[in-house]
Amino acid sequence: MIRWSAAAVVMAVAAGGGVLLLQAEASLHGQVAVQRQTIGQLERRITSLEGAAGSQPDWSSIAATVEPSVATIVAGDASGSGWVAHSDATGSDLITNFHVVADTWSAGVSTVQVLQGDHSSTGTIARLDRNDDLAVVHVKERLTVLRTESQRPKLGASVMAVGSPLGLGGTVTLGVVSGFRSLGGSDYVQFSAPISPGNSGGPVIDSHGRVVAIASAKLVGTGVEALSLAIPVQVPCLNLVSCSS
């Protein structure tokens, strides 16, 4: 039979408590390490989300910049949209669709009304391209020009249509470039931003605030949605007007 002295017992208890303390400390360090790893993962996720958010277009700012260069074109009983492609000391050239001014032109009238907010001015139909459904309207005022993109947009790129659907000037809708089509011998950019009668001739803007196309038409039918068509901006800029890039 082993007899322990009081001192030995105290030492044994103390030694056992030390082991328990070391185990608890090791467990605590492990938990802290796991928590730090979790916090690090969360911080990286937050940084990634902030970066993604920062890369999204600021459409509100883009719309505010673009809107002063977009107008409602009223040609007799028809109305559409137009945008400023060129400006100099003689005035400004706005691009629109030919079908917006077709009836007025056929009636022998070469003037239209150009509306921007509460301001109205008289525009003159200066040049036409019936085959590509384009027209240039000239006004005497010197207006702010919209810059254009020299390359066609990428499939899936975000875009904003600006115009006057049903005469409601300053209307914007968002979508993406959803395809490229050749219809009736003409090339079109297909996009998903909703457009309505009155959008015709309005600019389709990319995330840099540049014009990539001119809203022209949409496919309609039962169950058909967001199939809008626009004329590539390179067409009028090569054939009708000197655009700013």
Write out the catalytic residue numbers: 99, 133, 200
Q: Provide the 10 A C-beta neighbour count for residue 33.
A: 10
What pairs with residue 160 in β-bridges? 174, 205
Residues 6 or more apart whose CB falls under 8 angstroms from that of 197 comprise 165, 166
CB 219 within 8 A of CB 63: no
Half-sphere exposure of 144 (CA within 13 A, CB side): 9
Q: Are 121 and 74 in contact (CB under 8 A)?
A: no
The two three-digit tokens of residue 25, written as one number = 């400390």
Q: Residues 158-167, buried b or exposed e (16+ Cβ, 10 A)?
A: bbbbbbbbee
Strands 70-75 and 111-116: antiparallel
Contacts of 26 (CB under 8 A, 6+ apart): none
